[in-house]
Structure 1
Amino acid sequence: MRSCHPKSALTAAFLALAVTASTLGGAQAEDLTGTLKKIKETNQITIGYRDASVPFSYLDNEQKPVGYAFEICKKIAEAVKVQLKLPNLEVKLNPVTSATRIPLIANGTIDLECGSTTNNADRQKQAAFTNTHFLTATRFVAKKSAKLDKFDDLKGKTVVSTSGTTNIRMINEANTARNLGLTILPAKDHAEAFLMVETGRAVAFVMDDVLLASLAASSKDPNGYAISSDALSKPEPYGIMLRKDDAPFKAIADATTAKLYQSPEGKALYDTWFVKPIPPRGINLNLPMSEAMVKQFAHPSDSPDPAAY
């Protein structure tokens, strides 16, 4: 069998892309499958939001959802509206919790879940994720006056972490492996742990950096604290959750998020929620983009593997 001429192959590839685009753009519901079929038939897309995942998805003073991940979900909904040519597409909002978010995606109640949901191998068995929008890691917060930035700076000191978290396990393992000679105090919750640093019972609190940023920003002296540049873990990816095995819908979400993250608008959106005052109280998380996040935005990925970042 004669091989295809390179120009012919290129023409065929462009034709295939054009057919895909026209199918999505002018499709009747019967030509579509999965989530896109459901959206076309109902003229509705449903976003699942969290009510207290600052700054990803939470309620403002008017009890309306706002946030960084919420804005990304709205961008995906807008792209679906354009692709399916549904000028009056209704965007419905449905609250979710950490316990209900996966079941509500799976059973079709919500089409997108925006929050601080970790994309990991275990969750990939139940749901899909679009490109990573945030990377968290285990770091520590300390008073700026203590001038502590690396985990080695903590040698021989007293630190705190929250009981029952992966973070307290990590600091215990690092303490043994690096021979740091730490005294590690367990706290019943994040608020108690931060209070121990505020009152001097511990020099540092070891936890996910974004949680530390929120606690420091909400404290009596937001400018008095610094988060370590040193991390104890590889980056943990957060992503917008979608239904599993729904390639056409995921393709739109992936294309939309990749375009956003690679554009100046993506960086501006990040800065709005992580390095500027946010509603309703005007707190500032002061969490500039990490090197890993800069790389992720330049080369968007939906990998659940921390080593990929």
Structure 2
Amino acid sequence: MPSHRLPGLVAALLLACVALPAPAQGVLDRIKSGGRLVLAHRESSIPFSYLDAQGRPVGYAMDLCLRLAEVIRKKAGVRELGIDYLPVKASDRLAAIEQGRADLECGSTTNNAERREKVAFTVPHFIAGARLLVRANNPATRLEDLSGKTVVSTRGTTPLKVVDQLNRQHLMKLNLSEASDHQQALKQVLDGQAEAFVMDDVLLYGLIASSPSPADLKVVGRYLTTEPLAIMLPKGDTALKQVVDEEMKRLITSREIHPIYERWFMRPIPPANAALNLPMSYLLRDFWKYPTDQVPF
């Protein structure tokens, strides 16, 4: 290379270095500097994350997130930790974490390989499976019984993708409808606009328990998916993830998570003061024997 080009090359390299974006500040560092923790929550993912009669976010995942917030506060070494709450839907929850608008997503989100390209997950707090919610007088017992009928699921969810794949692969002739949230999907079934709502069974039971007429609805069909549900957090924030993972593992191995589970799945919960009566599944019990954030999906 001619020597007269060296000064220009050096200048270009220096300019490129200056133009490099500064690394994003981690959540712990931001809190040490007086920042607030932002918890994303759902509005109708009963019993994981939803609004009570006073419009406050409550639920199983919310309780876990508040436990995590306390260990984050201690790790950051601050006396008090301000918490902000950000409502999200199924369609924008990943973006809220990926874009830095929220630090933890406290809901019912499935940890899968596609999502791990954009966000991180901690140890699963529940393992669910997608089934069908139909009206009590509907004779359908499986997805194949709904050929030619309208089936609804919530936009941006794993069950919607699975049903779409099954519909195309097996030529089921289903008419798929996308709802913006779980309540809208439930309304489509109640109003007769859809024959079935496909979603994680635990969420379906929660919607039934909180509906004005629980006897008018039922959950049917075999499991279409296996869904390890976990709290989302930013990808690449290793310090935050270590704190969150360690606390989730501690809650599980110490069994402190069990009364939290029982509160939301076995006892009456708001707003209808009805109990889901869902004992812990053998899948979740087995998974929690060796709690890890690594899932085979």
Q: Same fold, TM exceeding 0.5?
A: yes
Unaligned runs of 5+ in 1: 1-32, 177-181
Contact kept, 8 Å, 2:61 with 2:231, in 1: the verdict is yes
Check whether the contact 1:160–1:196 (CA below 8 A) recurs between aligned residues: no
Q: Give the C-alpha shift of residue 122 in structure 1.
A: 1.6
Residues 105 and 51 of structure 1: is their aligned pair in 2 closer, same or farther, counting only changes over 3 Å? same
Structure 2 CA distance for partners of 1:69 and 1:160, relative to 1, 3 Å: same
2:186 is the counterpart of 1:191? yes
SS in 2 for 1:42: coil
**Paired residue for 2:253?**
262
**Aligned partners of 1:206, 1:96: CA distance in 2, in Å?**
20
Q: Using the TM superposition, name which of 104-113 and 253-262 deviates more.
A: 104-113
- Amino acid in the other structure paired with 1:75: R
Deviation at 1:255, TM superposition (A): 0.7
Partner of 1:210: 202
Are 2:210 and 2:271, in contact at CA under 8 Å, matched by a contact in 1? no
Greater share of helix: 1
Does the residue aligned with 2:270 lie in a helix, a strand or coil? coil
| Paired residue total | 262
- Give the aligned partner of residue 101 of structure 1: 93
Does 1:162 find its partner at 2:157?
no
Q: 1:208 to 1:47 in 2, by over 3 A?
A: closer
Counterpart CA distance in 2 for 1:140 and 1:128 is 29
Matches within 5 A, 1:44-193: 44-141=36-133, 161-162=151-152, 165-166=160-161, 168-169=163-164, 172=167, 190-191=185-186
**Whole-angstrom CA distance in 2 between matches of 1:52 and 1:205:** 15
Letter of the 1:277 counterpart? P
Counterpart check, 1:38 vs 2:30: yes
Equivalence for 1:237: 228
1:266 positional shift: 1.0
Match of 1:294 in 2: 285
The separation in 1 between residues aligned to 2:151 and 2:250, in whole angstroms, is 38
Q: 1:160, 1:206 within 8 Å by CA — same for their partners in 2?
A: no
> How many angstroms does 1:207 deviate by?
3.9
Q: In the TM superposition, what whole-angstrom CA distance separates every residue of 1:22-80 from its partner, at most 9, and x where no partner exists?
A: xxxxxxxxxxx722111111253222222232222222122221111111111111011
Q: Structure 2 regions of 5+ residues with no counterpart?
A: 1-24, 180-184
AA aligned to 2:266 is: V
Give TM-score, length-normalised by structure 2. 0.71
1:259-304 Cα distance to aligned partner (Å, 9 max, x none) = 1123332122112112222112213333332221122233222235
Supply the AA of the counterpart residue of 1:241: M
Conserved 8 A contact 1:138-1:167: no
CA RMSD of aligned residues (A): 3.6
Normalised by the size of structure 1, how large is the TM-score?
0.69
Q: Residues 196, 299 of structure 1: CA spacing in aligned structure 2 closer, same or farther, 3 A cutoff?
A: farther
| Counterpart Cα distance in 2 of 1:65 and 1:75 | 15
**Quick check: 254-263 or 280-289, which moved more?**
280-289
Residue 8 of structure 2 corresponds to none
**2:238 aligned residue:** 247
Q: Write the letter of the residue equivalent to 1:275.
A: M
